Structure 1
Amino acid sequence: MVKTFIIAEAGVNHNGNIALAKQLIDSAVEAGVDAVKFQTWKTELLVSKDAEMAAYQIENTHKKESQFEMLKRLELSYPDFIELKAYCDTKNILFLSTPDEHESARFLNGLQSVFKIGSGELTNVPFLRLIAGFGKPVILSTGMGYLSEVEQALFVLTEAGLALTDITVLHATTDYPTAPQDVNLRAMLTIQNAFPGVKVGYSDHTLGIEVSVAAVALGASIIEKHFTLDKAMPGPDHKASLEPAELKALVQAIRNVEASLGDGRKLPTSTEMVNRKLVRKSIIANTYISAGTEITADMLDVRRPGDGISPSRWDEVIGSIAKKDYQSGDLI
């Protein structure tokens, strides 16, 4: 069974508080995910001071401020991330953080063995080259992207030295929360078919867990899902995140789906073999048949259990000669 890699996206749901970030790590560990992921940036290097907030950010924060002001409030320092990485190590969970600019990417190269590239950088050629140059596996989100832009990003990454097999492409819709009709999960399969050798997954911004579970059933190798300690907390991403109990339910649902997918061979399970004799049927006599009689269809019937001749051999039995006497109800 291939295990789906589940990333609990803490993102900025720590609200700029390292103590809250550690509580998020604890919650991710309790849920049983494979990795907990944050976002790392220096606001001055990420956004201009007059950049506007996205509509969902204004709606979720109930604040009218610039992106710069919002991000500055949510920013953690590099020493904070060193501390969070060490905390993850003590909890035996993989630490990840998405860099949002070059300096933070170089810093994170000393902390993590895998790089997640956010949807906003899909077309950022120099940034893609920088990440590829680290020589580490890459998880590439593709929200807001055309297939042609995914193709270009993969070309840049591979030209800079990464093998396609070291890249996992995540289908995503950059809207928080994403409405079901905007998910288009089949686009994940389109990516898989378009770029043989690339693994695919899904970064989920919908409410609830069902779309992530469906993505696993379709073959997602990675699921990324935002989570929070409380959806009512102030901040841009809390409302579109799972609370701890929901995150735990997501993990269990994904593991159940994985177990149910099986190896694709159609054959009875060991438990079915026990039931097979009880539920299948056998050919029986429905009247007295004397030895030497040619057996006709009107002499026979079919009844449980299935420990006699299977009715799949009905045509073989018809026209055969009875080798002994049969009472009504006897197995043939």
Structure 2
Amino acid sequence: MAARSYGNDHVTIAGRRVGPGEPTYVIAEAGSNHNRDLATAKRLIDVAAEAGADAVKFQTYTAEGLYSRKTPTMSYLKDGGLVADQESVFEMIKRIEIPWDWHDELASHAGQVGVDFLSTPFEDAAVDLLEKLDVPAYKIASYEVNHLPLIEKCARTGKPLIISTGMASLADIERALDTANGAGATEIVLLHCAINYPPRFEDLNLRAIGTLASAFGVPIGWSDHTMGHTADVVAVTLGACVVEKHYTLSRDQEGPDHPFALEPDELAAMITAIREAEASLGTSIKRVTEAEAEMFRLGRRSLVAGRDLKAGEPLDRDAIAVKRPGYGIPVHELDAVVGRSPKRDIEDDEILTWDLFA
């Protein structure tokens, strides 16, 4: 597959420029962790805002539009006791789907507390609903990367697309991008993702962030299901410009997405770590920084008198000491000072400067 650009090098989400060189756009993924309780959903929005997230995201689907009733239940749901006895995956999804009549109130609440409101659509009707709310972007879940009709419908809205790529090959991604481009989308972010709940660190393959950037020429982010925030900081240092992370009010709650989600203080700690990582990256230029200037002058070494020196007496090596501070003759000029004669007497420990010599 020949590398080409499938979109702009930056996108704009709710007036915010997102891409290389910009602050990481952090999406707090509430998902289904609202427990079908409106107050809990609103509290999740508050937590996202308090933690410093840029956006809060829910998921808009119906069990009927998502799963066949004959779909086998995933092993992680069974092994984790996340489905009730004799409950099918269809039945589980039915009991955790978000009531669609909440969306307007949730979007309004997000606006009030200063975070962007997003929701991942999983069917055409969900896109229609979210368009009425004028969401600033559309997130395509990893599971939907081959749902080309849905990608096309989202692309035709003219909004930026954020496409997760868990389980996807480069060919899968290329088809999705060709579909999005064909429907007019040029503002696209791809999210590298490892699907498991939670995945092992050895399965994350974070260096693929660079591969995706080279292959497709669009901003790349990271959608994370690991515990903690190590992977998120690493992803940012590797160039991720969007980070999406599941969170919950408490992992002790029942539901499929609670066990691997961050709790409120952990979400805040992750965002702080991301901001610190961004600040620490700096530039590729190796130089003395402004913060180092005083210690550069006072903490490095230079040449000082190793004893009392007489005017006109040529200096031998023992007459010169290497000490702090650093604003005397540089140490690398030591050989050039040996044999020179001072113009005046010099006291022991006096800092040597060129103007002391003829």
- Whether the TM-score (by the shorter chain) exceeds 0.5 is yes
Q: Distance in 2 between matches of 1:2 and 1:44?
A: 40
Task: Report whether the alignment pairs 1:227 with 2:247.
Answer: yes
Match of 1:5?
A: 25
Give the paired residue count: 329
Q: 3-state SS of the aligned residue for 2:259?
A: helix
Task: Report whether the alignment pairs 1:55 with 2:67.
Answer: no
Deviation at 1:321, TM superposition (A): 4.2
- Kept in 1, the 8 Å contact 2:32–2:98? The answer is no
Deviation at 1:288, TM superposition (A): 4.4
Q: 3-state SS of the aligned residue for 1:109?
A: helix
Match of 1:114?
A: 137
Match of 2:182?
A: 159
Deviation at 1:39, TM superposition (A): 0.3
Identity %: 42
Give the direction of change, closer, same or farther, for the CA distance of 1:321–1:159 in structure 2 (3 Å limit): farther
> 5+ unaligned residues in a row in structure 2: which ranges?
1-20, 353-358
Q: Distance in 2 between matches of 1:181 and 1:237?
A: 21
Q: 2:40 aligns with which of 13, 17, 20?
A: 20
Q: 2:202 aligns with which of 173, 176, 181?
A: 181
Task: Report whether the alignment pairs 1:147 with 2:167.
Answer: no
Q: Distance in 2 between matches of 1:207 and 1:26?
A: 21
Give the direction of change, closer, same or farther, for the CA distance of 1:53–1:18 in structure 2 (3 Å limit): farther
Query: Partner letter of residue 156 of structure 1?
Result: T
Q: 2:103 aligns with which of 71, 78, 81?
A: 81
- Kept in 2, the 8 Å contact 1:281–1:303? The answer is yes
Q: 3-state SS of the aligned residue for 1:10?
A: strand
Match of 2:189?
A: 168
Deviation at 1:224, TM superposition (A): 0.5
Q: Distance in 1 between matches of 2:343 and 2:188?
A: 68
Larger CA deviation: 124-133 vs 61-70:
61-70
Task: Report whether the alignment pairs 1:326 with 2:333.
Answer: no
Bigger helix share? 1
Matches within 5 A, 1:91-102: 91-102=113-124
- Kept in 2, the 8 Å contact 1:43–1:75? The answer is yes
Match of 2:7?
A: none
Q: TM-score, normalised by structure 2?
A: 0.87
- Kept in 2, the 8 Å contact 1:132–1:157? The answer is yes
Larger CA deviation: 120-129 vs 294-303:
294-303
- Kept in 2, the 8 Å contact 1:16–1:74? The answer is yes
Query: Partner letter of residue 224 of structure 2?
Result: D
Q: TM-score, normalised by structure 1?
A: 0.93
Q: 3-state SS of the aligned residue for 1:61?
A: coil
Q: 2:227 aligns with which of 186, 207, 211?
A: 207
CA RMSD of aligned residues (A): 1.8
Deviation at 1:77, TM superposition (A): 2.8
Larger CA deviation: 270-279 vs 138-147:
270-279
Deviation at 1:67, TM superposition (A): 2.0
- Kept in 2, the 8 Å contact 1:10–1:38? The answer is yes
- Kept in 1, the 8 Å contact 2:116–2:136? The answer is no
- Kept in 1, the 8 Å contact 2:83–2:89? The answer is no
Give the direction of change, closer, same or farther, for the CA distance of 1:227–1:323 in structure 2 (3 Å limit): same
Deviation at 1:91, TM superposition (A): 1.6
Task: Report whether the alignment pairs 1:134 with 2:157.
Answer: yes
- Kept in 2, the 8 Å contact 1:202–1:212? The answer is yes
